Structure 1
Amino acid sequence: MSDTNTANPQMAELWNGPGARSWITAQAVLDQAFHGFETLLADMAAEAGAHAVLDVGCGTGATTRAIAGRITPEGTALGLDLSAPMIAHAESLAEKDGSPARFLAGDAQTHAFPPGEFDLIVSRFGVMFFSDPVAAFANLRRAAKPDARLAMISWRSITENPFMTVAERAAAPLLPDLPKRGGGPGQFAFADQDQVHGILDAAGWTDVSSEALDMVCAFPAAALDTYLSLMGPVGQMLAKSDDATREHVISAIRDGFSEYISGPDIQFTAACWLTRATA
């Protein structure tokens, strides 16, 4: 299913174009790395006895499928993402796995959800990209049943997540036009929890709380080049580069990850927030 109404054309262009292609190509690597978050949210849904769950910014659907597997046949899980290609990939994976998870391509900020549909709304790194976060969370609150719960995982600061910037720091001398991380929507937009609590309060959520969450993540070291060539600002630049430049840059920055090698894996700690609230 698809809803093309969006308040965020810049992000829609990214996540329906190069961003989607990168995530779909790296889907297996990323799902393996972030499996711990998927399990955490699925456990929360099962323990809460949730019957109707919305997964916001679901990407290729790993968390949605995990939740669906824990709460069906009594419950349902719907994954929503701005990226139509990623939703199509999520649907194909669900069909392959025989998962009852459902998916919708749309913008959580503007989508016309039936009022009071969900008793749990979750997100794994999918809520930091709204053009108007207060409007987005107000829309999600309207979609929630009275006393429904919100549980979302977002990144803490750049300085607390050095793994996420190894590639761009190492590649900076080779790629002078490398995009700079800054304010506005993006990976670290929810690092300041005082700001996030203010957003949720303004959107009508109550009982807002946050706890620091440090999750050990790992993926095969053999997949490092795939990760480097696709993800973050470096991946964005390499997608536009010729093969020779791509190989030169990856070779030059690969050594920067040596401290994260643990046996056959790349291992790092993701410094995140688990933020909860009540509708």
Structure 2
Amino acid sequence: MAEGPDGEGPNAAQIAYWNSQSCAGWLTEHERLDALFAPLTEAALAAAAPYPGERAADVGCGAGATVLALARAVGPGGGVLGLDVSERLVARARERIAEAGLDATARVELADAALRPFAAEADLLFSRFGVMFFADPVAAFANLRRALRPEGRMAFVAWRPLAENPWFRLPVEAAREHLPPSTDPPPEPCAPGPFAFDDLERVRGILAAAGWRGVEIAPHDPMMRLAPAAGAVAAARDAAAVGPLARALAGAGEEERRRAVDAVAEALRAHDGPGGVVLPGAVWLVSARP
């Protein structure tokens, strides 16, 4: 039997997307994305407070930055299991674990965490932007709860509303008049995606329905450094390589793409200062117990 999710369950569309050419940028740009999200990783890990000897599961671990951070925190006496549905990102995460010499502490599995059978072995269930993509989040979080020991805990970070995240919103808005017509229907409210957990009360309701207790949700307002100083053009090109603008430009010709990148660079120059190209971000830091 082939390893990994079969693509026939409730998350089939997400599995297909994260294994499509549309997501190639998440692999080629993973080091830049690690740097961009580093302050958020630090905040999420501080909230999770992993300590030596613990066992952790990392949901939606991508190219492995958070698996490596967790492995260093729990040390050789602990263990980390990373889970992701993208074959290419899982392969890169495994390479990075080997490169770091952390094979004895960490491993990554190609699996749909919403459906994977779990034994109650983990002390910590962690995720950095990996839990907003479930078609049935209540069922998914009920399944994830089975991964934890009775005294375990969960900590994850998810985006607050798009309106509160100009670093994410501005590139698409600046490029809008240069984008090819979209053939995709507008997403349904609360559809799986980056902002599926933007509503605090919806998150509380999902976790309560899935059996989680002691839910705590705190806002966190990082500044997102998109590029070094004088880097508006580089930041615009990066935005066109991965994320919502890249998806919107999927059918664009070379001239359309050039005009879009130029428009984004012009908009970003207003946010380019001595500290770099910086815009506000907004996330929820969520914790709960099984």
Structure 2 length-normalised TM: 0.89
Q: How far is 1:44 from its partner?
A: 4.7
For 1:77, give the aligned amino acid: V
1:262 has 2:267 as partner: no
Look up the SS of the partner of 1:77 in the other structure.
strand
**Superposed counterparts of 1:1-279, under 5 Å:** 2-5=3-6, 6-49=9-52, 51-100=54-103, 101-113=106-118, 115-178=119-182, 183=189, 184-221=191-228, 222=231, 223-263=234-274, 265-279=276-290
| Residues 164/50 of structure 1: CA separation in 2 closer, same or farther (3 Å cut) | farther
Q: Aligned equivalents of 2:249 and 2:51: distance in 1?
A: 43
Look up the SS of the partner of 1:34 in the other structure.
helix
Q: How far is 1:50 from its partner?
A: 5.8
Q: Aligned equivalents of 1:219 and 1:91: distance in 2?
A: 27
> Is contact 1:32-1:219 (8 Å) kept?
no
Supply the RMSD in Å over aligned alpha carbons. 2.0
Q: Aligned equivalents of 1:175 and 1:244: distance in 2?
A: 11
In structure 2, the gaps of 5 or more residues are none
> Percentage identity across aligned positions?
35
Q: Aligned equivalents of 1:107 and 1:250: distance in 2?
A: 35
Q: How far is 1:89 from its partner?
A: 1.3
In structure 1, the gaps of 5 or more residues are none
Q: Aligned equivalents of 2:160 and 2:247: distance in 1?
A: 22
Q: Aligned equivalents of 2:48 and 2:76: distance in 1?
A: 14
| Residues 24/189 of structure 1: CA separation in 2 closer, same or farther (3 Å cut) | same
Q: Aligned equivalents of 2:257 and 2:153: distance in 1?
A: 44
Look up the SS of the partner of 2:277 in the other structure.
strand
For 1:241, give the aligned amino acid: A
Q: How far is 1:232 from its partner?
A: 2.8
Q: How far is 1:218 from its partner?
A: 1.7
Structure 1 window deviating more from structure 2 (224-233 vs 131-140): it is 224-233
Structure 1 ranges of 4+ moved more than 6 A: none
Q: How far is 1:36 from its partner?
A: 1.4
